Amino acid sequence: MSNILDPEELEALMAGEDENDPSRAKYNLARQDYAIQRLIPALSLIQSQFATATRDRMREFVSSVDAVRVDKITVMKFDEMLNTLPAPCSISVVRGLPMNANILLAFESDLVFQMVDRYFGGSGSLQKGQREQLSVSEFSFMEMLNAALLSDIGTAWKSVIKTEPSIAAQVSDPRMLDSIGEADSLVATRFIVNVGEFSGGLWSIVPWSAIDAVRDSLSDPAKPATKASSADWRERLREGLEMAPIELVAILAQTRMSLKRVSLLKVGDVIDIPSAEDVVLMIDDTPFMYGRFGSNDEKLAVRLTGRSETNRHQH
C-alpha cells in the first residue's frame, strides 16, 4: 500500500472511515498495520541503537562478532513465532514495559551454538544432529550474555521503560512461554549477527498492546509534539502548585551600622534597633506583606496590616 498511497492519502483514507459501517470491524488488522507503519521510524531508531550497543556488548564475550544490524521489523502471531524460533533457542523474558508487558529477547539456535563454541575457544563449527534442549554450559552462557544486555535494552527503550529492566525467565523452547496469548499480535524485530563467516538471527519481540499504549512516547522525534494539554492535567497541575510549600519569613527588626563598629562588637554590647512591632513578611527575599507583631492564643503572631508594593501591583 505504501507504494501506491502517500502518507496524506493514507491519513485521509483512515480518517474517512464510517463509524456506522457494519463492515468496519474487518479493517482492524489493517488499522493496526497502518499504525505500526507510522511507528516504524521510531522503532527503527530504537532498534538501531540497541544493535550498536549489542554488537559492542557481545564483543566482550566473543571478539569475532563483526556486526549486528536490523534485518526487518514485522508483525506476527504467537503461532508464527513458534515456527520462526524452533527449539532449542534462547529466549529471555525481560520485564520493564508498561502494562506489565515483557520484551522477549530471542537468539536463534545456530547463533547460540556459534557464540558458545567461540566463547570456549572453538572455531564456531556448526552443530550436527537435532536437539531439543540447550546444554548446561550453553544455558549458563546465555544467562550471562542476556544479563549483560539488560542495560542496553534499558538505554534503547528509555522513552518507555521507567524502571530498571530485569529478567523474569529464560527458556529454550517458545512453547514454554505462558505470558503471551495465542491471539496476541507481536511486533518482532530481527537482527542479523555476523560472527566471522557466520550469520545468525537475534530477535526482539514486543506485544503490540504494549507498543499501542506508549505510541506518544514512541512518536517520530522529527515531528514536534502538538497534542494539547487536557483540562484534567491542568487541574492537577494547579492543585499541585497550590499545595507547594513556601517559606514565609517575618523580619522583626533591622538596623544599619558601619563596618568599623561591627568589627569592634563584643559580648555585652547593646545595639539600638527600631520598634519590633512593625514586621515585614518576606517570600524568597521579596517583601510580601506588612504586619504588627504580637500574640494570639498565647502564641507569637503577626497581624497583617497591608500589602507590599510588589504584591499590590500583582493584584
Cβ count near 118 (within 10 Å)? 20
Whether residue 19 is predicted with pLDDT greater than 70 in this model: the reply is no
pLDDT level of residue 150 (50, 70, 90 thresholds)? very high
Residue 130 phi/psi, 5° resolution?
-100, 140
What does the pLDDT average to over 191-204?
94
Express each pLDDT in 218-236 by its tens digit.
654 444 444 444 566 677 6
Domain regions of the chain by residue span? 7-15+26-220, 242-314
CATH class of 242-314: mainly beta
Q: How far is CA 84 from CA 89, 160, 219, 243, in A?
A: 11, 27, 29, 55
Highest mean pLDDT among 78-82, 166-170, 236-240: 166-170
CATH for 7-15+26-220 is 3.40.1550.10
C-alpha cell at 226: 502538538
The helix/strand/coil state of 231 is helix
| Angle ∠(211,212,217) on CA atoms, nearest 5 | 70
- The pLDDT assigned to 211 comes to 78
pLDDT level of residue 50 (50, 70, 90 thresholds)? very high
pLDDT level of residue 128 (50, 70, 90 thresholds)? low
Percent of the chain with pLDDT over 70: 77
Express each pLDDT in 69-87 by its tens digit.
999 988 888 888 888 888 8
Domains 7-15+26-220 and 242-314 share a fold: no
- The pLDDT assigned to 315 comes to 55
Q: How far is CA 280 from CA 190, 246, 256, 288, 313, in A?
A: 68, 16, 16, 8, 17
Judge if pTM exceeds 0.75. Answer: no
